[in-house]
Structures are given as structure tokens and as C-alpha cells.
Amino acid sequence: MDALDVLKAKYLDEIAAAADEASLEEIRLAALGKKGEISLKMRELGQMTPEERQTTGAALNRLKDEIDAALRARKTALADAALDARLATEWLDVTLPGRPRPRGTIHPVSQVMEEVTAIFADMGFAVAEGPQVESDWYNFDALNIAPEHPARQEHDTFFMHRDAEDPRPPHVLRTHTSPVQIRAMQKQGAPIRVIAPGRVYRMDMDQTHAPMFHQVEGLAIGKDISMANLKWVLEEFCRAFFEVENVELRFRASHFPFTEPSAEVDIRCSWEGGQLKIGEGDSWMEILGSGMVHPKVLESAGVDPTEWQGFAFGMGIDRLAMLKYGIPDLRAFFESDLRWLRHYGFAALDMPTVFGGLSR
Ligand code: DAH
């Protein structure tokens, strides 16, 4: 093997072993660069005899071309390999089944709150809020429930701590959403149309009672709002909420300190084989309390009762959920049992709307 063959073997080996473009470039410079081994040999041609120059020159040129070709080929091969590696990692099996929906579900109480809000929003009611730790005044006095009123005992109130020497009455966990009526009227005055969904608390626990549950309050105050408007609003609500055309409501005279007159409202229903049907049958089920807002309540909220009047109502959201979705035990609502939540929960991305459907 002559010297050029040795050179050729050396560079072709190096090129074959090069792992990336940078090493290829180093090899190119070492062989063919201005000061590369082969370029230097080219320069030596000048000192040769014409015959030597002819043979060696041609041989050097061939060597140069061969190394150049090997470099290009190796470069292409490396680029191909890099692309193959990338394609292998970005590979996608289009025959795989689609990703499952998120496993979380919307709790029936949240679902019903959204449904109720959507229905009343459609009738022009805004959503109002108030605190869950409420003052004695908002929860009772402002609603015409005086300290000695028996309704205070009926509410099974949770009291917050107060130091014994502090003369002020303790705060309470609100026992109903009615105090939000007062807060909303103080803030906005009249006329006003709001609902107030939220948590309430009472010391009570059995199959149909939990110490924490949910209510939605309604309030509409104007110049000439009457019981007739109350009746229409509630019927319209029940039709939309229970998704039945024929609902029948029964207004039963009742008593609440914050309304005068007061009515409890029952809905016609049937129980057949443990199945509840709304709008038919011979049974009646109580679903809410309501009435014309008592003048004293308007007064304590800073609204002049000689100028304004209107109705209010309050209903249990958990109860509405049990009725509409056939859920038998209220306690299960708050036990966070995943199997229960998956069974009774709602798809996370379907927002209830009056026009798009409430509970598909
Ligand atoms: N606050 C009452 C309760 O918790 C429900 C209620 C009854 C609210 C009559 C009202 C109403 O606004 O007018 O039992």
C-alpha cells in the first residue's frame, strides 16, 4: 500500500465512525481544509518532476474527490438517522381508542344550582350572595324574628364562640338563605330581583336532613308585585326545572315571620313502585315556603314599605336534586363516596341552559 492508500483508508475509517456533523466537519478540515493533510500534499506537487506531478496529482485529486464524496454520504446518512429517531419517538398509534372523559363529575347539588340559576336568570333574576357565618341580626332580627320568637328554637342554630363577658349576641352559621334578602336590598335598594343559592346549617341529621344543606332564596320587589306574580314565577320555574309541561302547584296558607301573607307550596305528584312522577297523580309534596315580604323586613333593609312591595320564597336545593334525579338518601350527598359521585354526577363540560337543555 502506498502512502496515499494509507491516507485514504485512514480518512474513510474516520468518516465511517463519525457520530455527528461536527466530527465530520473536523475530519473535512483535517483532510481537505487549507492546512489539511491532502491540501499540503497538493502543495508539494510544485517540487516534483513533471512526470511525478502528473501521476501523483491525478491520484491526489481522486483521493480528494473520494473523501469529499464519503463525507457527503455520511452526512446524509446521519441526517436520515436523526429523522428516523425523531419519527420513532413521535410515533402515534391512530388505532388506539380515544382518551376517556375526565373522571371527575359535577355534584348533583352543583348541577341543580346551575339549573336553578339558569331558569331564574331567564326570568330576570340576578344572583346575590351573603356570608355563611352571619350576624344574629341578619339571620333573625332583620327578618322579623325577635329574640323571644319561637322560630329561633325551631332553627336548631349553630352558634359561634363569644367570650362570656362579651354582651353582644354570638354570630351564627346562617340557618337559611333569607338574610341575603336583607343584604341585597341594603346594597341595591328597590326595585330588585335576585336569587341567592348557598349553604345553610342546622343541627339536624337523618335520612332527609343533614347539618349542612343548600337553599335558594328568591326576592322580587317592585311597585305592584303581587302573589299572582309569585304564583306565575314558581309555576314557570317548576315547569322548566322538572321538565314537564303540566305542573300543578297548591298554595297552602302558612306562617313565616318574614312574610305576610305566607304560603307553603306543594307540587302534584305520584309515587308508583317507588318512582316519583311530577305533574300527575293524587299526592302532593311540599317544595318551598313563600309569601309577600313583611313590611318590617323591608324597613329593616332600608326599603320604604309604603312605596314598595314584593314576594320572597325559599327552597331546599338538595331536596330538589333528590326529587328530580331520584336520589333516596340525603346523607350520601356529603359522604364523598366516589361510586356515588360517578353514578349521580354530571359531565363536567355540559353547562345547563334554558335553551340548550338543563339536564341532558
Ligand atoms: N327561610 C325559610 C326556611 O329556611 C324558607 C322561606 C320561607 C324563605 C318563606 C322565604 C319565604 O323567603 O318567604 O325555612
Q: Which residues line ligand 1 (CB under 6 A)?
A: 176, 178, 217, 256, 259, 289-291, 312-314
Give the closest residue to 198 by CA, choosing from 213, 187, 208, 209.
213
Are 201 and 158 within 8 A, CB to CB?
yes
Distance between Cα 163 and ligand 1 center (Å): 31
List the pLDDT tens digit at each of the 360 positions of the chain: 588 888 889 999 999 999 988 999 999 999 988 888 888 888 888 888 888 888 888 888 999 999 999 999 999 999 999 899 898 888 888 898 888 777 788 999 999 999 999 999 999 999 999 999 999 999 999 999 988 888 787 778 999 999 989 999 999 999 999 999 999 999 999 999 999 999 999 998 777 788 999 999 999 999 999 999 999 999 999 999 999 888 899 999 999 999 999 999 999 988 887 777 888 899 998 999 999 999 999 999 999 999 999 999 999 999 999 888 888 888 889 998 989 998 998 887 777 777 767 765
Burial letters 152-170, b for 16+ CB under 10 A, else e: beebebbeeeeeeeeeeee
For the chain, give every domain's residue range. Answer: 3-89, 107-347
Sequential DSSP letters for 328-344: --GGGGGS--HHHHHHH
Q: Phi and psi at residue 74, in whole multiples of 5°?
A: -65, -35
Q: What is the rounded CA–CA span in Å between residue 52 and residue 29?
A: 26
* Domain at 107-347, CATH homologous superfamily: Bira Bifunctional Protein; Domain 2 (3.30.930.10)
> In the block, which residue shows the cell 465512525?
17
Distance between Cα 292 and ligand 1 center (Å): 11
39-54 confidence digits (pLDDT tens): 888 888 888 888 888 8
Distance between Cα 193 and ligand 1 center (Å): 16
Are 32 and 64 within 8 A, CB to CB?
yes
* Cell numbers given for 322: 333528590
Distance between Cα 80 and ligand 1 center (Å): 76
Q: Give the number of the atom of ligand 1 that is nearest the alpha carbon of residue 259.
A: 13
Q: Where are the beta strands (DSSP E) in the chain?
A: 126-127, 133-134, 172-173, 192-201, 212-222, 249-256, 259-272, 275-278, 283-293, 309-316
Distance between Cα 314 and ligand 1 center (Å): 4
Distance between Cα 257 and ligand 1 center (Å): 9
Q: Name the residue of 195, 214, 256 whose CB sits within 8 Å of the most ligand 1 atoms, as the mutation to test its pocket.
A: 256
Distance between Cα 289 and ligand 1 center (Å): 5
> In the block, which residue shows the cell 463519525?
18
> In the block, which residue shows the cell 312591595?
309
Q: Give the number of the atom of ligand 1 that is nearest the alpha carbon of residue 258.
A: 13
Distance between Cα 251 and ligand 1 center (Å): 14
Give the closest residue to 53 by CA, choosing from 65, 63, 62, 44.
44
* Cell numbers given for 130: 351573603
Which residue CA neighbors atom 6 of ligand 1 most closely?
Answer: 314
Are 70 and 11 within 8 A, CB to CB?
yes
* Share above pLDDT 90 across residues of the chain, in percent, rounded to a whole number: 58
Which residue CA neighbors atom 3 of ligand 1 most closely?
Answer: 176
Q: Name the residue of 258, 292, 317, 318 whose CB sits within 8 Å of the most ligand 1 atoms, as the mutation to test its pocket.
A: 258
Cα four-point dihedral sign 265, 270, 276, 279: negative
Distance between Cα 220 and ligand 1 center (Å): 14
Q: What is the rounded CA–CA span in Å between residue 253 and residue 113?
A: 27
Q: Give the number of the atom of ligand 1 that is nearest the alpha carbon of residue 219.
A: 12
13-33 confidence digits (pLDDT tens): 999 999 988 999 999 999 988
Distance between Cα 179 and ligand 1 center (Å): 10
Dihedral angle computed from the Cα positions of residues 324, 325, 329 and 334, in that order, rounded to the nearest 10 degrees: -100
Give the closest residue to 187 by CA, choosing from 239, 119, 128.
128
Secondary structure class of 315 (helix, strand, coil): strand
Which residue CA neighbors atom 13 of ligand 1 most closely?
Answer: 290
Sequential DSSP letters for 160-221: PP--TT--SPPPEE-SSSTHHHHHHHHHH-SSEEEEEEEEEE-S--BTTB-SEEEEEEEEEE
Q: What is the pLDDT of residue 360?
A: 56
Which residue CA neighbors atom 5 of ligand 1 most closely?
Answer: 314
Q: Name the residue of 287, 290, 318 whose CB sits within 8 Å of the most ligand 1 atoms, as the mutation to test its pocket.
A: 290
Continuous segment of H or E residues that includes residue 304: none
